[in-house]
Every structure is written in structure tokens, then in C-alpha cells.
Chain A
Amino acid sequence: MKLHRFLIGCAIAGMMAAPAWGEGGTLTVGLKAEPSSIDPHYHNLGPNNSMAAHYFSRLVEQDDKLRLLPGLAESWQPISETTWEFKLRQGVKFHDGSDFTADDVMFTFERAPNVPKSPSSFATYLKGKSFTKVDDYTLHITTERPYPLMPVDMAQVPIISADVGEGVTTGDFNSGMAAIGTGPYRFVEWVPGDRLVIERNEDYFDAKPEWERIVFKPIKSGPARVAALLAGDVDFIDNVPPVDIARLKGEEGVQLSQGVSSRVIYLHMDQFREDSPFVKANGGGEIKNPLLDVRVRKAISMAIDRDAIVDRVMEGVAIKAGQLLPEGFFGVTPNLSPEAYDPEGAKALLAEAGHPDGFELTIHGPNDRYINDAKICEAVAQMLTRIGIRTAVETMPKAVYFRRASRGGPDNSPEFSFILVGWGSGTGESSSPLRSLLHTYDKDRGFGASNRGRHSDAEVDTLIEDALATVDDEARLALLQKATELAIGRNQGIIPTHYQVNTWAGRKGLSYTARADERTIAMGVTSDR
């Protein structure tokens, strides 16, 4: 009887063993983008950060909805207006067997903002803070002003071992020599352009992941990733192109996982120039920039058929947007919903604003940055053309686009009049887009860094600044909600169109906990068995 069961068990196991992930727990993942380095502090970039999360831990971790979880720090709390105390986890070992202590944290924070030639450093999260080691497992972080985002900032910087030494280079990480962390996986090898291999860390301090070994393969082209999954070359892929979703749903052996991201796609309008370069009167003459008028901006928002964008351009894989973050994130206000499609109302509003026959406009957007970005531009242009704002489309590669959009004009001002952009909130709360997109542009204080329409409202500014200095969550939430309502609901400072929904696909039986930060983390891939 037992033998009989055993044999059947073997047979089933044999059948299950056919897919690669049945044998020895190896999972092969096809990624859209590979990291530019293994050094976790070299480049503050999506693919690098998601990869680093496999072999390095952070003081604080973020779950799929970007809520904070204990990481290498067990707990944290403000002990005064300006000081936070972090209690570190004890008994954690690095991959090389050495113990984790506050010294490693101090070493990390010393190195992270100062990596030579870093194209985008972690200084953003560390500057203006002073760190004090109280004992081996207690850390104090002090800022000049009250700083509520401290735990979020601490969730961004991967902790490395102090043993790798002062002079450690980015190359040392790439070769694997210095790639020693405390994460659930240990780094094995990286062949750029071909594969990145990691193996399970059997001494991981937290719940052990399912897969023993993971091979990441960069496959840049969307259709090629899909083809690789269907051909069985890989078990799991990220960034499934929307066009392929319907087809994959019909495939027997494929399972899709989807989740809304914290990235909002929005339109930014020139709100600072009387004479805007890409706004013209009908026939091409000069015109006083109509986008300065809030009624015109509102009319544009009403003219956009968000349902059509979601259904036809995004193939149903997006959620229409009315503010900066989708439901469930910190700072989302219940008082704002997506503007309803109302072309007649939009025309009436345009007429009221003194433009009954519309005007001419050019929308600029990237064509290789967001899901279907160029097509969204075209769709928006078609919709605006229908209410009389005759809109031309110009899309370009992100390489050219972002520079021109940020400072392509005279005196480093934004070049365009009407643009499509996206913003993913790394912190998971609306303070991030509010301070970067809607606060008055202030180069010296680091506000409005991506405010390419130069929306400016003193009331909104005050609310944002207050929120960023309010440690109490409840009070901060109220401030952020109020700021959002004013900046978007009242001012139409930006026009949100939709939130991106990301799709992952794997063999049947593999599911993924979709993450709002769009990261592909192998620990989140689980099998049914």
C-alpha cells in the first residue's frame, strides 16, 4: 500500500519535474531590465534596487503595498522632535558568517552617498541626517527639523558589511567579492547581458523563500519575453506587454499576476509662461497661453475619455486616475475621483474661458518610458482635437525627452507646453509626488524638481512643507489630503489619466504578489504546491 502510494507519488513528481522549476527548485526569470551593477549603492535605479533586495537587507522593508515592515531594524520610533531611534535585530549573520551590528550600518551610511562616478546616488535619502551609534544594536538618527519620512528613507538603503573595507569599489561588487549581504539569497555570478544567478541563504533571519536557486535573464524586448515563456526558456517574466495579455489569458499553461502600481501617468501643462512655445491660436498665430486659465485645464481633463484609454490603449490593464496615488496608499483623499468624460461640458467650459473655437497645441511625450506612452499621447491628442483643441503629437526617446522637458528652454526652463509624464512614488505616500510635481519650483531647497509645468500655489506649498515636518501620521495625512485636493481638484495643477497596472506571467501554478513599486522580487513568486 505504502509502496503503491510512493510509486504514484514518484510518477506525479516525474510529471511535475518536466518544468524546470520542479528540479532542485531552480526558477528562471526573464526580466525586462537588468541592473547596471551589483554594487547596491552605485545607481539608485529600479532594476538595481530590486536585484539588491535579494541579497541585501535594509533597516526597514516595504511590502507589496509599500507598507513598512521590520527589516534589519526590529523597531523604530521618534524619541524627540528631531531624533529617531532604531533598534537593530540581533543574531543576524552576513553571508560570510560575520555578525551584523550597528557598525555595518554606520559604514553603509558613510559609503552610500559617496560612491565615485555614481550616476544617481543614495545621498537623497541620507543627507541632512546625522547618525550616532548608541550601542551595537541601537542607532540614533537626528535631523535639523522634524522629519516624518525617516523610516521610509531607511527602507531605501541596502546595508553592506563593514568587513569589505573602506576602499571597496563597484567592481568588487560586480565580481562578487564584496557582494556580501544579509538577504534571503546570496549572490553567485553576474554575466552582464546574459544572466544573474543567486542561491538561497540557508541562514536567513526571516522566512526562507521557496526557490533554492534563481537565474535572472535579461530579455529586453516584450514580445521576446513572452515568446521565451511560451517556449519554456524561462518560468516567469515581468512587464508583460498589454497587447499580449489577452492572448496569454487564453494559454493553458500560463498564469498571470497583476497589481496596480504607485505610478500615475499624468499631463503637465505650462502654467508659467504668457507666451507658451507650443500653444498657438488657430492657424498658427500668437495667443496668450490659455493653459494659464484653470477652466481650460479643467476642460482638457473633461475631454479625456479615461475609459477609452484604459480599455483600448491599455487593453484594460490600467486604472483611471483622479489623483496622485491609487486607493490604499497614504495621503489618498476620498474627495477626488477621476474626472468624468464630458466632451460637451468641456466645449462649454472652453467657450466660457473665451476659446469657443479652441486653439492649437502640441503634446510631447516619451515613446520608450511608460507602458504604451506614445499611444496614450496620440489618444489624448485625438480626444482634445474632438473638442476643438487641435493637438499635434511629438514623441521622442526618453534619452532626448526628459532633458528637453525639464530644461530644454531658455534659461534651463522646461521647453514644452503640454506633456505626458509618469511618477512612481517610491515612498508609497503622496508627499513624494506633491513635493516634486506640485510644489513651487525651488531649486535650492529641492522642491518642485520635476514640476515641469511650474504649477505654483502658496497655499499648497505651505501644506506640503507642513506635512513634511509633521511626524504624527494622522495630522500628516490630513495635510497631504488637503494639499492634493487643492492642487488637483481646485487648481488642476496636473491632469492624472491613469495608474499603471503591471502584469507578470509565469507557468501555470506560479503566482506572484504584485508589487506597487513595480519591482520583480523572486521571493514573491510562489508555487501552488
Chain B
Amino acid sequence: MTVFIIRRLLQSAVVVAVMSLLVFVGVNVVGDPVDMLINPEADQAEIERVIRDLGLDRPLHEQYGYFVVNALQGDLGDSFIFGQPALQLIIERMPATFELAIAALLLAVVLGIPLGVLAGLRPDAGWSRTIMAGSILGFSLPSFWVGIMMIMLFAVMLGWLPSTGRGDTVPVLGVEVSFLTRDGLSHLLLPAINLSLFKLSLVIRLARAGTREVIHQDYIKFARAKGLSETRVVLVHLLKNIMIPVVTVLGLEFGGLVAFSVVTESVFAWPGMGKLIIDSLHELDRPVVVAYLMIVVLMFVIINLVVDIVYSILDPRVRLQDTKA
């Protein structure tokens, strides 16, 4: 067991180290941030001062060395543009992204499970086929395009919902959230739906498959035989049993939502980390780009590590296989 965990920890560390090298070195050879930052009236001496101040005159390996040493102490460098720690900028925008991702996740569950169960109960009915066709669309449509269409329909043509931004926020436990104000909620709706579409399709499929499997189990037959109403059978016995796999999968998918929010945030100008990374890429704010990528990579590595360890506890075969090799 310990061997397994150490092995996986080492692997994760290697992944993070390789990524940091790749990202840092790669990002630092694209473009020249100084030309983006400098006032055009500045002369050569000023340009050279900026290059020196930002540490860009040092050889790349030396810059990387500083980065690693500082990163290990929790300092991912200062933004070229804002002059503030990149980590702080990202953390400031984290609540917005997480709020969006959680809202999308909730929507996927709240809409996806009933639709999936319906489709599973009567697989041959017309509406079941419609639901499944819809889920195929949800899988294949690029989400940025759906977002644009949603803006066109609901914001431009109908004028029901705002097209961009986050709206009013209120602090809850020190974190700014927008779902508690009417204005904020109206801003949240379209992006959350947009982000949830892919996961919604996934939940529908999972719930449908689960329903079709569970419906033939003995305990459902027994419940029916006992004379329980169909509503009760579905709501209590069936739902309880399909929720577990769905929730497990969705928990794992949360990281995916955060990553994919890059697209949704760009379309809806949602002020989260995803928009920050795209803006920073365009403006060559290297420390922020590096910090974002490192944070997200780290997030995934940790999620995967935890999942691996949990699985290995639940299913010793995984562990054995790995240790043998």
C-alpha cells in the first residue's frame, strides 16, 4: 500500500516537474512582453530598464531556476501587467469560475437525471428518442458556438438575459457570489447552461443506462410486487441506486468543467480564471500564464492521485497490478 502511494506520488511529482519546465521555457520564448507594456514614447534606456526589472535579461535557465525556487515557496512570480503576485490574481478570480462550474454541475444533475431516467424507463417512446438525440447534439456541438447562439437568441433578439459579465455580487463568508442577487443570477444563467451542456449529455446517458440496468433488478420487482406506487418506486428505490455512479463520475468531472470554463468565460466575458488566462495569453503576461497552467495541472494531478489511492483501497487488484510491474 505505502509502496503504491509513494510510487504514485513520485509519478505525480514527475508530471508536475515536466510540465513546469515545458510551460515555463515554452511560454518564455513566445513574443516580447516589453513591447506590449512600454509606453511608445519611452526611449531605449527605459526599455532596457524594464527588461532588467522584469528579469528578462537573465538567461532562461537562470530564470527557470528562480521560478522553481520561488514556486516551492508558494510564489509563482509577479504579473508583468498588474505587478501583483500572479497567484493572488488567480485566486481572486477563482470564486467566479468555481461558482460557474458548480452552477453548471448542478444544472447537469437537476436536469440530466430526470431526463435520463425518463429515457431509460420508456426507451422506445418518442420523447425518449428526442432526449437521446438531444444528448448526441450536446456531445457534438462545440460549446463556444452554442454560447454564441444563446447570446444571439436570449440577449440580442429576445432581450431576456444579459450577454456578458457577472452582474451584482454579494459577499458570503468573504467570497463574492452572484447567485444571491437577481441581477447576478440573470448573468449566471446563460453561461452556466452553456458550460453544463456537455456534462448534461453525459448525465443523461449515465442515468439512462443506470435506469435500464436497475429496472430489471429484483428489488425493484419486489417493490412493485409489494404494491408500491410507481412514483415511489422510481423516486426512492430507483433514484437512490443510480445516483451513486452519476455523482461519482460528476465529482471527477468537476476539474473538466473548470478547464472548459475557459471557453464559456471567453464567450460571456465572465470574469473568472479562464478569461484571465486567455487575456494573459494575448497580452503576454507570462507569469500569469505559467501560474494558471501550473495551478490547473496541479489540481488535476491531485484529483487523479486521490482517485487512484481511493480506488486502490477499494480494489486491491489495481494496487497489486501496479506494484508487480
Interface residue ranges of A20-58 to B (CB < 8 Å) = 36-37, 39, 42-45
The residue that B84 contacts in the complex, of A174, A397, A398, A399, with Cβ under 8 A, is: A174
How far is A426 from B37 in the complex, measured between Cα atoms in Å? 17
Given A123-B49, A193-B93, A450-B40, 11 new contacts (CB under 8 A): A43-B37, A45-B37, A119-B38, A123-B46, A219-B165, A231-B159, A233-B162, A399-B283, A436-B40, A446-B44, A449-B40
**Within the complex, what minimum Cβ distance (angstroms) separates A374 from chain B?**
15
How far is A85 from B32 in the complex, measured between Cα atoms in Å? 41
Residue A474, interface by CB 8 Å: no
* Total chain B interface residues with beta-carbon distance under 8 A: 47
Interface residue ranges of B7-53 to A (CB < 8 Å) = 31-46, 49-50, 53
Task: Report, nearest first, the 7 A-B pairs whose CB atoms are least far apart.
Answer: A446-B43, A119-B37, A403-B32, A193-B271, A224-B164, A402-B35, A403-B35
How far is A297 from B136 in the complex, measured between Cα atoms in Å? 59
A36 near B282 (CB under 8 angstroms)? no
Chain B residues within an 8 Å CB radius of A171: 84
A423 near B40 (CB under 8 angstroms)? yes
The residue that A119 contacts in the complex, of B54, B176, B271, with Cβ under 8 A, is: B54
Q: A117-B78, A227-B163, A426-B41 are in contact. Are A37 and B50 (CB under 8 A)?
A: no
Residue B284, interface by CB 8 Å: yes
The residue that A449 contacts in the complex, of B41, B84, B269, B282, with Cβ under 8 A, is: B41
A119 near B165 (CB under 8 angstroms)? no
Q: A219-B164, A228-B162, A228-B165 are in contact. Are A170 and B83 (CB under 8 A)?
A: yes
How far is A233 from B161 in the complex, measured between Cα atoms in Å? 11
A217 near B165 (CB under 8 angstroms)? yes
How far is A192 from B90 in the complex, measured between Cα atoms in Å? 11
A400 near B39 (CB under 8 angstroms)? no
Chain B residues within an 8 Å CB radius of A36: 81-83
**Within the complex, what minimum Cβ distance (angstroms) separates B119 from chain A?**
37
Q: A220-B269, A406-B35 are in contact. Are A124 and B83 (CB under 8 A)?
A: no
A432 near B41 (CB under 8 angstroms)? yes
Chain B residues within an 8 Å CB radius of A118: 50, 53, 83
How far is A117 from B162 in the complex, measured between Cα atoms in Å? 38
A-B contact count, CB below 8 Å? 121
Residue A444, interface by CB 8 Å: yes
**Within the complex, what minimum Cβ distance (angstroms) separates B78 from chain A?**
6
In the complex formed, the residue of B with least CB distance to A406 is B35
B53 near A116 (CB under 8 angstroms)? yes
How far is A231 from B151 in the complex, measured between Cα atoms in Å? 14
Residue A132, interface by CB 8 Å: no
Residue B80, interface by CB 8 Å: yes
Interface residue ranges of A65-105 to B (CB < 8 Å) = none
B50 near A119 (CB under 8 angstroms)? yes
**Within the complex, what minimum Cβ distance (angstroms) separates B26 from chain A?**
15
Q: A192-B82, A399-B282 are in contact. Are A124 and B39 (CB under 8 A)?
A: yes
Chain B residues within an 8 Å CB radius of A444: 44
Chain B residues within an 8 Å CB radius of A120: 37-39, 42, 46, 50
Residue A121, interface by CB 8 Å: yes
A119 near B83 (CB under 8 angstroms)? yes
Q: A120-B39, A406-B35 are in contact. Are A221 and B164 (CB under 8 A)?
A: yes
Residue B166, interface by CB 8 Å: yes
Residue B214, interface by CB 8 Å: no
B42 near A449 (CB under 8 angstroms)? yes
How far is A123 from B169 in the complex, measured between Cα atoms in Å? 39
**Within the complex, what minimum Cβ distance (angstroms) separates A364 from chain B?**
14
